[in-house]
Structure 1
Amino acid sequence: MRQFLLLLLLTAAVPSAAQPKAPEAFPYPAKTDRLPNGLSVVRVPFHSPGLVAYYTVVRVGSRNEVEPGKTGFAHFFEHMMFKGTKKHPEGERERLLATYGFNDNAFTTDDFTVYHSYGPTAGLDALIELEADRFRNLEYAEPSFRTEALAVLGEYHKNEANPWLRMEERLLGTAFQQHPYRHTTLGFYEDIQAMPEAYAYSRSFFERWYTPDNTLLFIVGDFQDGEVMARIREHYGPWNRKVAQVPIPTEPPQKEKRTVSVEWPSSTLPRQVLAWHTPAASTTTPSAAIQSVLSDYLVGSTSPVYKELVLDKQLVESIGSGFYPHRDPSLFSLHATLKAEESRPAVEAALTRAIQELASGKVDAARVQAIQSNIRYSLLMHLEAPDDVAGQLAWYAGIFGSPDALSRHLQNIARVQPEQLVSFAKRYLVESNLTVLTLTPATGGKP
């Protein structure tokens, strides 16, 4: 739901030489149809007798919150989508799905929102009708809206006990000046407090973004394709809204190093984050693939930095760079949880040295190739159930916008060349493009 808590970071576009042909990356056959109203429907038969996963991806996230005072609405509206319709009032959908034994939930990111259900194929017809009904005909009264707004405020209060939320707020607010990525998916606190008064705006938010041409369905598991598509056309076909065209502000280039510090009032471990602006992710450029490899290359478990800081000197409890591509230019970040405050200069120096060595042209081609293989096979090893497959397909489609985004992204990863990592570091991982965040606890570390 939140950038740091889900992962961290971003994208890059670097020209490259002729690329080798990459193998087909996604191992299961997929069928895709686009309804006349623009809804994309992707089906993947998967050997899972009696089980099916059903994922709905709406390409709206906190990046779309451009009006002043209205941040956090993509996440808030995820909550409202469970409030019922005239045909199925609040609570009825959940009772019906529970009779079949479906697991049912949702989550929101910077760039998209996902609604997902996993359960018996015997309940698929009922699920299709229920989902189409709420996406077409959501209804809720203002008292219900106000109650849920207070629940979202409570969620913020719960999460603010975690240092990562404060860090994310301060990092994004420092690195971004114009783009909506400057606020977290939860939104600015004062906007969350004001949400109970925004009932009318919430209705316009639904009409603006919850449209068939802004939505993709992923159905994975045991089902009869013809029967499923007939039900989809029956129940989703009348859905006829069009997605709004709302300009997203462009972030101006950063021209000098920025720093921000967080003083944490209670005991925890010190933290360090280095973040650079990088280009938007796209399946037609190598940017996201380069960073997917680069994150492991710089601070993964086979990197010299990991060996130095985690294993040999034991200066940090953890180090990483959770790769999370974004639809718009965002951040590529390295982060470390330090064991003691006095280790901070040595940790930052080690991270900086690793980047400078790469930018100088020193790159281990064999390790690059090993990382590429590991990314591919790690993913394949985790595609063990329909829910796993649908979840991965939905995640990458939400970012990149195409039903086959996962396969295309993996193909791009296979094409990454060592010299592209060097070019990326030279171009983007430079001091004028850098934002540094430090978190120092009140006691200097865990008691």
Structure 2
Amino acid sequence: MRRLLPLLLLLLGTALPALAQPQAGSQAFPYTLKTEKLANGLTVVRVPYPSQGIVSYVTVVRVGSRNEVEAGKTGFAHFFEHMMFKGTKRHPEGERERILGTFGFDDNAFTTDDITLYYSYGPSAGLPFLIDIEADRFRNLEYSEPSFRTEALAVLGEYHKNAAAPYLKMEEALNAAAFTKHTYRHTTLGFYDDIKAMPEAYQYSRDFFERWYTPDNTMLFIVGDFDDDQVMQLVREHYGPWDRKTASIQVPKEPPQTQPRTAHVDWPQPTQPRLVLAWHTPAASANTSDSALQTVLVAYLVGPTSPAYKQLVLDKQLVEAIGSDYVEHRDPHLFSLTATLKNEKDYDRVRLALLQEVSRLAAGKVDAARVKAIQDNARYGALMALQTPRDVGIQLGWYAGILGTPDGLQRQLANLAKVTPAQLSEFAKRHLKATNLTLLSLTPKVSDAGGTK
């Protein structure tokens, strides 16, 4: 199974101070951050970066499929990622792309369960135009009902495309089994029937925009080579009049799982069998180490130095790959172990092998040297992942959106450095237990050659 955003395995040795004042860099995050909150609630973070005339412009809105609490109205956070490129009265559809294309900007976006993130990457010379255009669309998005209906059909086509591979159906089946109340029960794309009904929900889409695309629900990250005073003057000028307030909703809480659950997908075509073990685990938080523990736990249990990897992938060669779909979430979600098998008859052997590693960890049998090696490797990976302004901006925006604070990346990195073997063992004992487990399997259709089953 695969999430929309890959896992970010980042680590550092020292926490950075809060962002009330400009910061000095550190060995693991060697860039200065400057943060200002406008009167309307918009948080603006600037990161000077020696990129020689290049800038990254990242806008993160704290809205995802998590916010879709109304029956029949799922998938709208993702849908709005599409609609945000439709234009405004000042900059009609196509003009934004023409202007940014003139400068050579790379421009894209993605939606997850918890956030929607937009980024542009290109020359600093185009930054004044970019600030004007971005502020205009976030304040004054405009689209007609026919345009809305056309894009709704495009989103339906995107669902059909994704449904042609096993990952989406696996995620749907797992969510349906693991969640009974919380909005994580549906994927970012939404329930299929809701997607089909989208063309009739034009007015609701306008309401969705007014509810969530608000300055107090948005953070802006500008990373690269630019004049800070000039940038802030332009930001205040263009974003200052944005005056909407974010909506208040009650996301249903998921009750504790008290017994094992199973889900199964019969895949109608030949493919490799798949297995997912998933447990409910705590949300990511700026004030706890829960997400940091789970990030380290992935590498410890199924990383390339793990006994499970050596046994299942290298020695016995029962699986093509093992891994995890764990990604930080704003509310309690799932920690998972995944396996792509070579033969369906090995389901039980693979399942028991993975559970055995979890049991060893919960019993306190932890290889402290390997934990340290994982941390050292992650520290190197963190530095290597910050090679361009786009890398820095997206990672800052991701953790800010999830953790709700502009210094979210630094907090996550600091927590990752503090993970201890004893904490890993206690976490596994508390959360990775049989009554909290949801087991998903996928069985492919038998191929003509007979090699799948």
Describe the superposition over 1:377-405 as per-residue Cα deviations: whole angstroms up to 9, x where unpaired.
10211211111111111111111111111
Which amino acid in the other structure matches residue 424 of structure 2? Answer: L
Match of 2:106 in 1: 103
Match of 1:404 in 2: 407
Match of 2:246 in 1: 243
Match of 1:13 in 2: none
Describe the superposition over 1:301-358 as per-residue Cα deviations: whole angstroms up to 9, x where unpaired.
0000000000111100000014311000000000000011111111001001000011
SS of 1:152's equivalent? helix
- Counterpart-to-counterpart distance in 2, 1:93 and 1:7: 29
Which amino acid in the other structure matches residue 406 of structure 2? Answer: P
Match of 1:15 in 2: none
Pick the aligned partner of 1:368 from 349, 367, 371.
371
CA-based RMSD: 1.6
The list of structure 1 runs, each at least 4 consecutive aligned residues, that deviate by more than 6 angstroms after superposition, is none
Pick the aligned partner of 1:87 from 79, 87, 90.
90
Match of 2:435 in 1: 432
- Counterpart-to-counterpart distance in 1, 2:7 and 2:439: 14
Once the 2 structures are TM-superposed, how far is the Cα of residue 22 of structure 1 from its aligned partner?
A: 5.1
Q: 1:3–1:110: 8 Å Cα contact kept in structure 2?
A: no
- Counterpart-to-counterpart distance in 2, 1:292 and 1:105: 27
- Counterpart-to-counterpart distance in 1, 2:165 and 2:408: 33
Match of 2:19 in 1: none
Pick the aligned partner of 1:234 from 232, 237, 242.
237
Q: 1:56–1:394: 8 Å Cα contact kept in structure 2?
A: yes
Q: 2:4–2:112: 8 Å Cα contact kept in structure 1?
A: no
Match of 1:142 in 2: 145
Q: 2:2–2:167: 8 Å Cα contact kept in structure 1?
A: no
Pick the aligned partner of 2:417 from 414, 418, 421.
414
Describe the superposition over 1:122-162 as per-residue Cα deviations: whole angstroms up to 9, x where unpaired.
10000000000000001111000000000000000001011
Pick the aligned partner of 1:64 from 64, 67, 85.
67
SS of 1:6's equivalent? coil
Q: 2:86–2:141: 8 Å Cα contact kept in structure 1?
A: yes
**1:178-189 counterparts in 2 under 5 A?**
178-189=181-192
Q: Percent identity?
A: 67
SS of 1:110's equivalent? coil
The verdict on how the C-alpha distance between 1:286 and 1:211 changes in structure 2, with shifts beyond 3 A counting, is same
SS of 1:168's equivalent? helix
- Structure 2 gap segments, 5+ residues each: 17-25
Match of 2:286 in 1: 283
Answer yes or no: is 1:386 the counterpart of 2:389.
Answer: yes
**1:29-428 counterparts in 2 under 5 A?**
29-428=32-431
- Counterpart-to-counterpart distance in 2, 1:365 and 1:140: 57
Once the 2 structures are TM-superposed, how far is the Cα of residue 4 of structure 1 from its aligned partner?
A: 2.8
> TM-score if structure 1 supplies the norm length?
0.95
- Counterpart-to-counterpart distance in 2, 1:51 and 1:41: 18
Q: 1:52–1:223: 8 Å Cα contact kept in structure 2?
A: yes
- Structure 1 gap segments, 5+ residues each: 10-19
Match of 2:21 in 1: none
How many residues are matched?
437
**Mean CA deviation greater in 365-374 or 20-29:** 20-29
- Counterpart-to-counterpart distance in 2, 1:240 and 1:22: 34
